[in-house]
């Protein structure tokens, strides 16, 4: 026996629903036409059981810009180190390589310090036995 739940009608006339516990999209085309007719008749007979489809909203997780900067610096560092190893780097390239490596170290140290501080906050305080 088929069980339809959570029937939602989209603006294009198709339906989004749960069929036997699985999500389905039923358009009024081709292989879905027969099932669409059944769902559409049911929706017309029981409009209180059909809701308007709401597009899901996906919120983007916050991005730590330091991680973005770190990735860019590491890429630049790799490119510069290849030039240095191939002995085609200029003196400016070598100086930039040192700057990049120092900035990478600084960002990593900052991130590690925050990680350590957060870990320490999670450790419960030990009560005095006095």
Q: Which of 46, 6, 45 is CA-nearest to residue 26?
A: 6
Give 20's DSSP letter. Answer: T
Q: Which of 80, 60, 69 is CA-nearest to residue 111?
A: 69
Residue linked to tokens 């925050």: 114
Residue 22 inside a domain? The answer is: yes
Do 117 and 72 fall within a single domain? yes
Provide the pLDDT confidence category of residue 128 given band limits of 50, 70 and 90. low
Residue 59 inside a domain? The answer is: no
pLDDT at 4: 84
* pTM listed for this prediction: 0.50
Do 77 and 45 fall within a single domain? no
Q: Which domain, by its residues, includes 30?
A: 4-52
Do 118 and 70 fall within a single domain? yes
129 is written with which tokens? Answer: 């036995």
Provide the pLDDT confidence category of residue 69 given band limits of 50, 70 and 90. very high
Q: Number of folded domains in the chain?
A: 2
Residue 112 inside a domain? The answer is: yes
């Amino acid at each position: 026996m088929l069980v339809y739940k959570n029937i939602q009608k989209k603006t294009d006339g198709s339906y989004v629903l749960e069929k036997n516990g699985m999500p389905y999209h039923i358009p009024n085309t081709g292989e879905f036409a027969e099932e669409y007719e059944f769902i559409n008749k049911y929706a017309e007979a029981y409009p209180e059981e059909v809701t308007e489809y709401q597009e899901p909203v996906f919120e983007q997780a916050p991005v730590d810009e330091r991680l973005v900067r770190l990735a860019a610096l590491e890429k630049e560092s790799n490119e510069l180190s290849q030039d240095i190893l191939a002995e085609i780097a200029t003196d400016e390239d070598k100086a930039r390589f040192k700057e990049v490596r120092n900035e990478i170290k600084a960002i990593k140290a900052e991130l590690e310090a925050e990680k350590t501080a957060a870990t320490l906050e999670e450790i419960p305080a030990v009560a005095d036995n006095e």
